[in-house]
Structure 1
Amino acid sequence: MLDEATIQGLKWNENGLIAAIVQNVHSGQVLMMAWMNSEALQMTLETGEAVFYSRSRATLWHKGETSGNTQRVVEIRVDCDADTLLLQVEPKGPACHTGNEHCFFRTLDEFSQKPERL
């Protein structure tokens, strides 16, 4: 459990969320970006697996709960402004809902030529 001072020390946005970048601890590959609220952060620390907050569904989601593509959290880092977390994980399967290893599989040029909205 995080103590209240640590939680208050993080810079949550106006919706009570903080950005969470997820990185493969072994390869260094950035896998995805998601949002966490304080409950998601607490659950991540308690379970040892990544839990995020879905803004579209307004609920917590345990990464891989339905797909089996979980992310075991090895370490959580905080950036210099305390407004972004870096979760270093051991992924079990692809991180992206498209089936790609990570969510950053397109360059901006590729996106501008054929913007696929998911």
Structure 2
Amino acid sequence: MRSITKVLEYAKEYGKEKTIETLAKMENAKLKRGNAGVITSVAVSIFIAVITILALIYGFGEARSSIPAPTDPNLNSTYTKVSDMGNKGFNFLAVGIILFVIFTVIGMIVALTQMRR
């Protein structure tokens, strides 16, 4: 709204030619800003996707290491360690999936708002 009043003020001061130039400049600035927003949102989403994928890979690796060890009394200490690692792996998996869902939704919202401009 403020930009329209500015343009009207320019029209009163400088006449039509200058006003058209000013409008063109303002539109150009808007377009440039929009592109920068899209580029940054894409870069951020790629970065987040990489982190999420790494978390998922780590989670799968840790979860696979939670295969129950033989129930030998001598190996009891290692068995508990392995199962703890497995739990950690599943936690990583859960966090990775949750992050993926959250950031996918955020990315979609950002993309939609950028498209509307």
TM-score band (shorter)?
A: under 0.3
Name the TM-score, length of structure 2 as normaliser: 0.19
Higher Rg: 2
Higher strand fraction: Structure 1 or Structure 2? 1
Name the TM-score, length of structure 1 as normaliser: 0.19
